[in-house]
Amino acid sequence: MPMTMVFGIMLFGLWTRGLREVIAFIFQFVCLVVMFILKMIMQQPRPQGSCSTSCGMPSGHTLVSVGTFVWIFMEVHYAQLMDQRQKNIILAVAGVLLIPVGWSRVVFHDHSWAQVLVGAVIGGLVGVLWYAMLQHRLTTWILKLVKAWLPFMELNYPLEGLVEEAPWAPTASAYGATGTQKAQVR
């Protein structure tokens, strides 16, 4: 599922030319970096019956799939322009595609339940932190900057669209000017 997801994000990104897809691709990469670092630290072998000889702790497939589901869940849950039916459909499809990944890793003897659980917890934390990072004002500024540098990209993140900020320069009313004074200041 993670490789299918990466290729799907890339194909959808080529179709939409959207920054949302670039963000999703970067998120997949961040999950992989976190997984490789943790595998080097923990170095726990895979269970008996696994064909793979690499470290098994944490389950990388589970980390990526649960992390992606948590991020999608938070984006959809806090979206204000979607009705509840749309939210339910998106979350049901994402859940059916992403949540069973950990279970399948145990069934195919590639990971133990402990490895899957650790992967799920870490993936959930990465998803929450990724969502929180994307909510910062600096991220909005960076997205606008990327859009300015790459005008062919579509600014399709966040789902609601970017909220316009107040001007940075103070206005006449900030200095306590009245109506006639405001006209003279302008």
Give the pLDDT score at 160. 62
pLDDT digits (tens, 9 = 90+) for 24-54: 888 888 988 998 888 788 876 666 666 566 6
What is the C-alpha separation between 184 and 177, in angstroms, rounded?
10
Q: CA torsion 56→58→64→70, rounded to 10°?
A: 150
Write down the pLDDT at residue 185. Answer: 47
CA distance 167 to 87: 34
Report, as ranges of residue numbers, the positions in the chain whose pLDDT lies below 70.
1-3, 5-7, 9-10, 12-14, 16, 44-56, 156, 158-186
- The rounded distance, in Å, linking the Cα atoms of 32 and 174 is 48
Residue 168 tokens read as: 């940075």
Rounded to two decimals, the pTM is 0.73
Name the H helices within the chain.
2-16, 19-42, 60-78, 84-98, 100-107, 113-134, 137-149, 179-185
**CA dist., res. 60 & res. 33, Å (int):** 10
Amino acid identity of residue 36, one-letter, is F
Coil, helix or strand at residue 37:
helix
